[in-house]
Structures are given as C-alpha cells and as structure tokens.
Amino acid sequence: MTTDELTIKSIRYRKKLLRYIKQAKAGHTGGDLSCLDILNVLYHRVLNVSPETFDDPGRDRYIQSKGHSVEALYVVLADRGFFSESELETLCRYGSHYVGHPTRKVRGIEQNTGALGHGLAFSVGAALAGKMDDATYRVYTLLGDGELAEGSNWESMMAAAHYRLDNLTAIIDRNTLQITGPTHEVCDLEPLEDKLQAFGWSVRTVDGHDVAALSRLLDAVPFEGDKPNAVIARTVKGKGISFMENDPTWHHRVPDDEQYERAQQELDALLAEVTS
Amino acid sequence: MSFAAGKELGRANLEVFSETLVSLARENRNVIAVTSDSRGSGKLTPFAAALPDQLVEVGIAEQNLVGVAAGLASAGKIVFAVSPASFLTARALEQIKNDVCYSDQPVKLIGISAGVSYGALGSTHHSTHDLAALRAMDNLTIIVPADNFEAAEAVRTAAGMSHPVYIRFGKRPLYHLHQPSTTFEPGKALLVRDGTDVAFIATGETVYPALMAAAELEKDGLTCRVVSMHTVKPLDVDAVISAATDCRAVLTVEEHSVFGGLGEACAAVLMQAGIPTPFKIVGFPDEYMVTGSQLEIFDHYGISAGKLAQSVQVLLKADTGRSKANRLT
C-alpha cells in the first residue's frame, strides 16, 4: 500500500471512528485519534497477520495495552476484513462483543486489555515463547504515555531486556495528555527516552502521525541486536479535528450533533485536499 | 498391607508438586515453570537444574509473572506460574482477573507456602484471603490438595486443562489420605472416612486434623464423615448436600479466613437448598493473627483434633447450632 493510500485511509478511518463513537454515545475519542495512524501503519505495512492467518502460531501479534482506544482498533480490523464493519453498529450495545475495551471475543484481538499496565507483560510472554520455539514472528504492543505510571510496565521492561527480546516492539503513544491533564503535571514521565534506554531498550522517536516515517522506522526493527525495541511516537491527542486536538476534555467525550458535523466537514476537506 | 487414611506420613505437597512438574516437563518441552525468585521456596531447584530452558525467572515481580505466564500460554505453552500464594493472589490479583481469567488463558497458577505455612513470618506472608478473592473470579478452578496423592493428581490434571486453574500448596509433610487407586476429578470431593453423626467438610491441610477429630469422636460413640473438598470451585454441591442430609451436624474446616472461603461456599449451598442442619465454619477469625508455627496457629483457632472434637460436641447440643454462641464473627 502506498503512502498516499495510507494517508487517505487515515482520514477515512477518522470519519468512521467518529461515526461509531457518536452512534454508541461512547468512546475514547482523543486517544483513538492519537493512535489511529500507528494502527493504520501496523495493519497495512508491518504486521504479518490477516483474518486467514490469525490462528497460525507463526503470525505476528499485536496487543493493545492502551485498551481504551479500542474503537480505533475496531475500525482498522474491520477494514482489514477480520469482521464485517456492520458489526460495529452494535458497539457498546447490550449483548455485543464490541465492548469498550478489547476482548478475544472479537476476531483479530489477541488479549483482553483495558486495565492499564497489562499489555507489555503479556507481550513479553508471547515474545519469549517465540524465542523458545525459534519462531520468526514478532510482537508489537501499544502503550499510552499516561499508562507508563503503572509500575508493572517497568517490571516487564526489565524482563524484556533480560531475555533480549529483540522480537518485541513497544510503541508509546506519546500524546502528552491523560484524563486529568498534561502528563508532566500529573506525574512527569521525562526523560522518557533515557529511562527506556536505562532499562535496556533500544529507543527511537518518530512523528506518530507521519505514516511514511512510521513505516520506515518499524521496517528497521530490530533496531539493535538483542535488545527490545521502543518507539516513542510523538502524537497529538484528538489529531485531525481542530477543536479536539490537545484538549484533555476529549479523553472520552462524545461529539454532539454540531461538533460531529464540524468534524466530518474538516475531514472531508482534508480528504478533498489529499485526493485532488 | 492394607491402607489406612492418616497413618503414614508422606512428603510436603510442594515437593510432590515439584517432582510431578519435572516429570511432566521431561515428557513435554512446552511445559514451562515461571517463577518470581521463588524457585527455592517452590522446590523448583531440581527443575531449574534439569530443565533450565523450560524455566522462566522474572525476579521479584508477581504482576509481571502472571502477565508473562498469560503471554506464554497464549503461544501454546503449558505454563505453571509459581509464587508464594500470598503475593501471587494479592499483588497480582488484577493480572489473575484480566490476563488469565477474563482472557481465558489456561495458566496454572501455583500458590506455594499457602495459608499459614510460613507460620511465624507473619501475616504479610500468609494467604488467608486467596480463596475468597479467587472464588469471585469468573472462569477459575480452585484446588487445595490435602495429601500427596491429591497434589500429584491436581498437577497432572491441571497440565491438561484448557482453562485457568489455581492450586495451593503448603510446606509441611502430610499424611496419606487416599489409596493410589482413587480416582481424582476436579469438582468431585473425596471421601476420607464415612459416618452419619457429623460431617467434616475440610480442604487442604486441614483434612488431616478433621480426620483425627473424627477418630477422637468415635471414642464417644459418634461416627464422622470426613470429606476432602479439594476443589473449592466449582464446589461439589452434591457432596455438601448429602453430608448435611446424612449427618446431624456439619463443620467446615479450612486454612483460610472464615469469610469467603469453603465454609461460606457450603453455607450458601445449604441455605439455598433449605437444609437447616446445624453448621459451623472453622477457619481464621477477623483479627490480628496470633504468632506461631502453622500447627500452633491451627490449634489456636480450633483446627486440631481436640478442638474440632469440642466444636462438634458444642454444635450437637440441642439448638446450639442456632444459638448466639455459633454466630460467625
């Protein structure tokens, strides 16, 4: 898939994402928009997994530790054919498997997540199993930046380095905002790169909305022999919708009718621009 | 030589666990033990020496232990996550809930040195909450073996289970309670001794004191049934109901708080079945726990042959079962 095609997909995904969040009257809008381009690149350029190979022991694994951004994942998985997009009409409805956090009831999802600080340990286990079996699959996990305050992550960081899991890549959605406000005000993470390096990881920083740069970087995994890979993806919470960007109140706010129309118009204008 | 329950001293269940696990792991290289700096207390040093590639050490990090175990299990490994029961089931409770139970990853959670096995090390090291916490977890089988037979069978059975299981082991050598020809099945209680006056429904390392109490009560002309309720969840409801309908009184015995464990599980069964047999839960009360060895703590809280026999006599006195003296505190 070309970079232009990915760019167009990113805009279309945003339109769908907002539609389903509006319809369900629920969703983590801001964080969905910050990680959407990363998911787009993962599922179209990086992950060796498809609906047909999802049960194959040799598939690449993606574990979304920041489970609250599940709506973005649903939209991408539906587009990749893991399930029919019409299923998303049931998002958060009574009896639906399309819950507000990932579950294995949905094809394409590896592990139930949502409580923070869980995905990395699971990913370490999956990557370690791969090493034990001399398998060539890779494991990717997406963490929120606010999530890194959970101490369990740092237990897993140590273990990943100890076992030299170069088949593991942790992408940090560094949008610098969490529900209460800026991460540096809530509990400062910086210097994040230094911390990750000190824990034995090979660290790269990238614009998390630049699909070409993300593709190039993730193609280069493993970055260094014998080290787990960390990608600090600099992102914007609410990316793509002018009035949502960098506003923590959009953490899990649902747009009203007027906001929804404005958002769709902005995305339509962007789409017209990139397709012209 | 004929077999008699409670006559011959065996080994600690932890040793049996370790030996059984080594045997399983030799047969199948996908059998993995994950430990949190607990291979010594888990008796896994022989495992580590014999099968170093099948042992994953995560250091003192129980949350990571359980999460890593879930990830390994997701990739087809048969994973035994081994850590002191106290830390495994309190510190890593959310990992047990989400990564294992909710996600249905078939991890075998092994709580070592469980209950008050650590004795005088104090309450930080005791697990008197684990059954209560884990009974409320959807999709988890809970097994508390009472002797070496049950321990070995539980480990072998767990290896083949496709859903999560928690097994709890103590450190003290235990008396043999079952003939080797006995059939072990999770969810099916085992009868150690039969009787019609009083039923002891006990689990784990308290089955033996219940059996000794039964022997004492026999001298007073009372015949006692002793049931080893090795599986606390799913509970063998039929065994509970028949104990309460066949006998005049029921005592449950467990190495656990009186809140939320085996006793309350049995009480719920009997209450819902409308069976008003005099009933007592023997376990640890809601108080700052006394210091002592496991057996001293047992005796202090009424889990010894003599004190259990006394509890039976009190319970059998007319109406005492419903008296204020028998209220749970």
Is the same domain home to B150 and B13?
yes
Query: Does the residue B319 lie in any domain?
Result: no
Is the same domain home to B57 and B161? yes
- Chain B residues with CB under 8 Å of A133 CB are 75
Per-residue confidence band for B117, with pLDDT thresholds at 50, 70 and 90? very high
pLDDT at A276: 85
Q: What is the pLDDT of residue B40?
A: 86
Q: Which residues of A touch B63 (CB under 8 A)?
A: 117, 121, 151-152, 155
Q: What is the pLDDT of residue B8?
A: 96
Same domain, B116 and B196: no
pTM: 0.96
Domain count, chain A: 1
pLDDT tens digit sequence for A101-116? 999 999 999 999 999 9
User: Which residues of B are less than 8 Å from A132 in CB distance?
Assistant: 32, 53, 77
Closest Cβ–Cβ partner in B59, B67, B76 for A121: B67
Give me the pLDDT at residue B219, please: 96
**Taking all residues of chain B, what is their mean pLDDT, rounded to a whole number?**
95
Characterize the bridge pairing of strands A177-178 and A181-182.
Answer: antiparallel
Query: Is B50 within a domain?
Result: yes
Residue B321 located in a structural domain? no
Average pLDDT over residues B124-143: 97
Q: What is the pLDDT of residues B136-174, one digit of tens each?
A: 999 999 999 999 999 999 999 999 999 999 999 999 999
Give chain B as a 3 state SS string.
CCCCCCCCEEEEHHHHHHHHHHHHHHHCCCEEEEECCCCCCCCCHHHHHHCHHHEEECCCCHHHHHHHHHHHHHCCCEEEEEEEHHHHHHCCHHHHHHHHHHCCCCCEEEEECCECCCHHHCHHHCECCHHHHHHCCCCCEEECCCCHHHHHHHHHHHHCCCCCEEEECCCCEEECCCCCCCCCCCCCCEEEECCCCEEEEECHHHHHHHHHHHHHHHHCCCCEEEEECCEEECCCHHHHHHHHHHCCEEEEEEEEECCCCHHHHHHHHHHHHCCCCCEEEEEECCCCCCCCCHHHHHHHCCCCHHHHHHHHHHHHCCCHHHCHHHCCC
Please report the pLDDT score of residue B321 as a whole number: 53
Collect all residues of chain B within an 8 Å Cβ-Cβ radius of residue A124: 64, 67-68, 71
Find chain A residues with C-beta within 8 A of B64's C-beta: 121, 124, 152, 155-156, 158-159
Q: Is residue B204 part of a domain?
A: yes
What digits encode the pLDDT tens for the residues B200-232?
A: 999 999 999 999 999 999 999 999 999 999 999
Residue B270: inside a domain:
yes
Same domain? B14 vs B157: yes
Predicted local confidence at residue B273, as pLDDT: 97
**pLDDT single digits (tens) B233-249:** 999 999 999 999 999 99
Using a CB–CB cutoff of 8 Å, tell me whether A179 touches chain B: no
Report whether B178 contacts B190 (CB < 8 A): yes
pLDDT digits (tens, 9 = 90+) for B252-294: 999 999 999 999 999 999 999 999 999 999 999 999 999 999 9
**pLDDT band at residue B193, thresholds of 50, 70 and 90?**
very high
DSSP classification of residue A10: H
Q: At what angle do helices A257-275 and A3-24 cross, to 10 degrees?
A: 170
pLDDT above 60 for B1: no
pLDDT tens-place string over residues B18-46: 999 999 999 999 999 999 999 888 889 99
| Domain-terminating residue out of B117, B140, B175 | B175
B129 and B203 assigned to the same domain: no
Asked if A159 is an interface residue toward chain B (Cβ–Cβ < 8 A), one would say: yes
pLDDT in tens, chain A (276 residues): 899 999 999 999 999 999 999 999 999 999 999 999 999 999 999 999 999 999 999 999 999 999 999 999 999 999 999 999 999 999 999 999 999 999 999 999 999 999 999 999 999 999 999 999 999 999 999 999 999 999 999 999 999 999 999 999 999 999 999 999 999 999 999 999 999 999 999 999 999 999 999 999 999 999 998 999 999 999 999 999 999 999 999 999 999 999 999 999 999 999 999 998
From A273's Cα to the closest Cα of chain B, the distance in A is: 43
B71 closest CB neighbour out of A114, A117, A124: A124
B168 and B214 part of one domain: no
Looking at the partner chain, which of A113, A125, A152 has a beta carbon nearest the beta carbon of B63?
Answer: A152
pLDDT at residue B320 is higher than 60: no
Domain that holds residue A269: 3-275
Count of domains for chain B: 2
| pLDDT class of B329 with cuts at 50, 70, 90 | low
Both B86 and B112 in a single domain?
Answer: yes
B113-140 average pLDDT score: 97
In a domain, B1, yes or no: no
What is the predicted ipTM? 0.97
Say which CATH number the domain at B220 has: 3.40.50.920
> Token pair 């998303």 is at which residue?
A88
Task: Give backbone dihedrals phi and psi of A240, rounded to 5 degrees, phi first.
Answer: 105, -15
> Is A165 in the B-facing interface, judged by CB distances under 8 Å?
no
CATH number, domain of B62, equals 3.40.50.970
CATH code for the domain in which residue A257 is found: 3.40.50.970
Range of the domain at B266: 190-312
Q: Is residue B160 located within the same domain as residue B47?
A: yes
Shortest Cα distance from A51 to chain B (angstroms)?
18
Is residue B323's pLDDT more than 80?
Answer: no
B184 assigned to some structural domain: no
The pLDDT value recorded for residue B2 is 77
